[in-house]
Structure 1
Amino acid sequence: FAGELADRHRKRTVLLITQSSFVLPPLALFALTATGQSQYWEIILAAVATGTINALDVPCRQAFQVEMVGKQDLLNAIALNSSVFNASAVIGPSIAGVLIALVGVPICFLINSVSYLAAIAALLLMRNLPAQTRHRDEEPLRARLARGAAYARDEPVVGMLLIVVAVFSLFAMNRTTLMPLFADQVLHVGAHGFGFLLASMGLGSLTGALTLAFFPHLGANPRRQLWMAGIWIAALLEFSASRIFAISLVTLFVAGYCQISFIAAANSRIQSLTPDHLRGRVMALYAEALIGVGPLGATQAGALATLFGAPWALAIGAVLAGAVVLAVRLLRPEVFGQPRKTSSTEATASAGTSQRSART
């Protein structure tokens, strides 16, 4: 549904609504915590509200990138966005910890709420955006929603990349679930070591994002993307087997680098192949594959860790993800083969033109 909104309405307008809505949940939490009236159910309600807004925001925000910079610089934009996100993931918790110690939790909620004003101002200041193409389809909503899924099914590269991203999200991106167990029960480094583990992976992701930002041709190479997937899996397996803290930090750095390199390349390739009028709906599927599968991944990782321990849980997930990548490489070699010069839509149009020329 969020993808349909992005395809039928001006994306900047949708984003202005979602970013303005993001102001409210943390502002409410600020008021509740500042007055000492916060209760558990209110925190859950704020989390649900934030998640609902995010479900509407993410597909539109992803599809909006190509309107801001064009397909030529799309990978740069995705990489820079990822670098900002990962830099925030490394720096943000440290700043929050200092602020909580100095001024308390309520001020953190207030700062979070006010921070969205910067995004709103940036959206309002944007100029020279491409004109919105109006598609007045008379199809029912269900049929319009199905068109995005049908395109992903019929375009093998897009469909397979969505599957691989979902599999990695399910089995190989459960750091918040497993990392505390590694820090406490496997490496025995405590809370400080846990922070270093997360920082190492975040720094690797930041380095990978900046590499793609400065060298975008690397991300456009499907064979490099396959290598990044393989090295990512190998790094996770090495981390699961490591009992030496320094080696674990290095392997997490490598895993973070490869993770962001693979995900950013998948994002760019999917958006480049998808027609403009379907991009919102396809990016909604991408958001579901990358983010929506996460809770299921955390559940299975927690269950496996309970049964077999954190190292086995991570190793099993990495092997399953690697098996899917290998199957895609063998069954659909074009996914990680030579870059395609035309999308399926362009190829269809070209074929139609050739047939008309032949008849005339």
Structure 2
Amino acid sequence: MAAAAARPVTSPSVTPAGSARTSGRSGGTFAALRVPNYRRFMTGQIISMCGTWMQTIALGWLVLSLGASGTILGIVTAAQFLPILVLGAYGGLVADRANTRALLITTASLQATLAAVLGVLVITHVVTLWMVVAFAALLGLTQAADNPARQSFVQEMVGPETLPNAVTLNSVTMNAARVVGPAIAGLLITLIGTGTCFLLNALSFAAVIVALIRLDRAELRPKPRLTKAPGQIRDGLRYAVRTPSIRIPLTMMVIIGTLAYEFQVTLPLIARQAFHGTAATYSLLTGAMGAGAVIGGLLVARRRLTGVRSLVVIAAVFGVLILAAAAAPSLPLLVAALVLTGAASVAFISTGNATVQLSSDPRMRGRVMALWSVAFLGTTPVGGPVAGAVAQALGARAGLVLAGVAALVAALIGLASRRQAAAHPVTAAGRPTPVSS
């Protein structure tokens, strides 16, 4: 198994060094929606994502309502993502071994149950801070397996040629939900309270489960099922390190995921401290990023954009826009800057995700995407408390400054790594291989 998996598989758009070979048309902005299974899947995801964003807003506001500081908010956020950091690689191995569709039904059911329990605790006024931390940690446990399975399942539905478009449309729908979900959450929190948001999120998972059950299994392209054997997690790690078009995006995402994607910590603090706002203000800021991500995602979806070269440029633009948001002197200017930041954000995530997936051997895809989830989400236990502490000590805007600098540093490291890989191209087997620009 290890020897066979050591041969990197690249798509026509990704070279071994991660350079973009082609970035042409993807077959239209909504090419992936021509696949019936993908349409069914995305219908369930759109509904569920709205509920997830409602829960995200409610969770952050609930923590602050319980009297917690910015640092505590960071710790609660870290509790949700610590299981992904610690168990993410094993979650990817589970995804490689399991029937992906059945695994996703299981994780959706567990997340619905957790949301319902917390909603009842909030509505009955018995919730305490330790209960919120426990909820966040248990949610993270389910996400450790759900994230790599859900991301790798996209290729089982659409195939490699349509994957970049499908990945981008995933991001578009997630960020469209970022507009709708927070708007509903802000209204519900103001009129009723946070508990209703958790209960509605629990109900939204029914759409996911129904969609997964209704998929035409004959039209799926299931990955090879991995048989149990020792050393498979180590094999996945070695494979990722040896493949530049996987290693470089992962390295960049570790930096950006740790210090830049901490908006769930920085934005509520900016809403409350910098602009003396309410939950509606926080929802407005989150929704602005979501609106920008939808617009940017639809533009990216028209292009088959992959490769480290594109990723470096996008990361640099992302960093500059975050710094512009940090310097915005008024709420309208901050909202405008966050719209542009959201567009750059979805472009970075979509390009990196597609590059990593298309560079992965199908037998390694679950473990590779688990590493992507660790880099994106699992780094939050480190970055969440850091961003919260920086914002608490230096002001809410300082958290955004930290994020912008991190994105620029990631771009520089990606550029240097790409040049090094191009100068010394080596395959996973250790043999030189030509590199195209």
1:26 to 1:247, Cα distance in 2 relative to 1, 3 A: closer
Q: Distance in 2 between matches of 1:179 and 1:261?
A: 20
Q: Distance in 1 between matches of 2:260 and 2:122?
A: 36
- What is the DSSP-based 3-state SS (H/G/I as helix, E as strand, rest coil) of the residue aligned with 2:261? coil
Task: Summarize the alignment of residues 293-332 of structure 1 with structure 2, pairs less than 5 Å apart.
Answer: 293-332=379-418
Shift of 1:136: 3.0
C-alpha offsets along residues 66-117 of structure 1, whole Å, 9 cap, x if unaligned? 1011111111211121112112122112223434555655544332222111
1:340 corresponds in structure 2 to none
Is residue 46 of structure 1 aligned with residue 132 of structure 2? no
More helix by share: 1
Is residue 133 of structure 1 aligned with residue 224 of structure 2? yes
Q: Contact (CA 8 Å) 2:223, 2:362: kept in 1 or not?
A: no
1:279 to 1:45, Cα distance in 2 relative to 1, 3 A: same
Amino acid at match of 2:241: R
Q: Contact (CA 8 Å) 2:308, 2:414: kept in 1 or not?
A: no
Residue 174 (structure 1) aligned to one of 245, 262, 272: 262
Shift of 1:264: 0.7
Q: Distance in 2 between matches of 1:207 and 1:276?
A: 31
C-alpha offsets along residues 179-219 of structure 1, whole Å, 9 cap, x if unaligned? 24434544x36235444332222211121222223x032x2
Q: Distance in 2 between matches of 1:162 and 1:155?
A: 11
1:23 to 1:248, Cα distance in 2 relative to 1, 3 A: closer
Matched residue count: 340
Measured on the aligned residues, the alpha-carbon RMSD in Å equals: 2.9
C-alpha offsets along residues 109-147 of structure 1, whole Å, 9 cap, x if unaligned? 33222211111111111112124524435x32xx11111
Is residue 24 of structure 1 aligned with residue 113 of structure 2? yes
Shift of 1:328: 2.4
Is residue 268 of structure 1 aligned with residue 268 of structure 2? no
Q: Contact (CA 8 Å) 1:10, 1:132: kept in 2 or not?
A: no
2:286 corresponds in structure 1 to 198
Q: Distance in 2 between matches of 1:240 and 1:199?
A: 17
Task: Summarize the alignment of residues 51-200 of structure 1 with structure 2, pairs less than 5 Å apart.
Answer: 51-100=140-189, 105-127=194-216, 128-136=219-227, 139-140=229-230, 143-186=231-274, 188=275, 190-191=277-278, 192-200=280-288
1:250 corresponds in structure 2 to 336
Is residue 290 of structure 1 aligned with residue 413 of structure 2? no
Q: Contact (CA 8 Å) 1:75, 1:264: kept in 2 or not?
A: yes
Q: Distance in 1 between matches of 2:190 and 2:393?
A: 37
Shift of 1:29: 3.0
Q: Contact (CA 8 Å) 1:183, 1:190: kept in 2 or not?
A: yes
Shift of 1:330: 2.4
1:83 to 1:129, Cα distance in 2 relative to 1, 3 A: same
Q: Distance in 2 between matches of 1:334 and 1:233?
A: 23
TM-score normalized by the length of structure 1: 0.84
C-alpha offsets along residues 287-321 of structure 1, whole Å, 9 cap, x if unaligned? 01000112321222222233433334432442243
Amino acid at match of 1:315: V
Q: Distance in 1 between matches of 2:271 and 2:295?
A: 23
Q: Distance in 1 between matches of 2:398 and 2:114?
A: 38
- What is the DSSP-based 3-state SS (H/G/I as helix, E as strand, rest coil) of the residue aligned with 1:236? helix
Q: Contact (CA 8 Å) 1:237, 1:315: kept in 2 or not?
A: yes
Q: Contact (CA 8 Å) 1:275, 1:345: kept in 2 or not?
A: no
Relative to structure 2, which stretch is displaced further, 190-199 or 160-169?
190-199
1:129 to 1:30, Cα distance in 2 relative to 1, 3 A: same
1:249 to 1:37, Cα distance in 2 relative to 1, 3 A: closer
- What is the DSSP-based 3-state SS (H/G/I as helix, E as strand, rest coil) of the residue aligned with 1:204? helix
Residue 303 (structure 2) aligned to one of 208, 211, 216: 216
Amino acid at match of 2:160: K
Amino acid at match of 1:216: R
Q: Contact (CA 8 Å) 1:157, 1:334: kept in 2 or not?
A: no
Q: Distance in 2 between matches of 1:111 and 1:185?
A: 29
Q: Distance in 2 between matches of 1:30 and 1:190?
A: 24
2:91 corresponds in structure 1 to 2
Amino acid at match of 2:303: P
Amino acid at match of 2:153: F
Amino acid at match of 1:129: L
Q: Distance in 2 between matches of 1:225 and 1:62?
A: 19
Q: Contact (CA 8 Å) 2:123, 2:195: kept in 1 or not?
A: yes
Q: Distance in 2 between matches of 1:20 and 1:266?
A: 29
TM-score normalized by the length of structure 2: 0.70
Over alpha carbons, which structure has the higher Rg? 1
Q: Which runs of 5+ in 1 are unaligned?
A: 338-342, 352-360
Q: Distance in 2 between matches of 1:15 and 1:320?
A: 33
Q: Distance in 2 between matches of 1:246 and 1:108?
A: 27
- What is the DSSP-based 3-state SS (H/G/I as helix, E as strand, rest coil) of the residue aligned with 2:162? helix
1:207 corresponds in structure 2 to 295
1:300 to 1:347, Cα distance in 2 relative to 1, 3 A: same
Amino acid at match of 2:220: L
Q: Which runs of 5+ in 2 are unaligned?
A: 1-89
1:101 to 1:305, Cα distance in 2 relative to 1, 3 A: closer
- What is the DSSP-based 3-state SS (H/G/I as helix, E as strand, rest coil) of the residue aligned with 1:274? coil
Q: Contact (CA 8 Å) 1:204, 1:256: kept in 2 or not?
A: yes
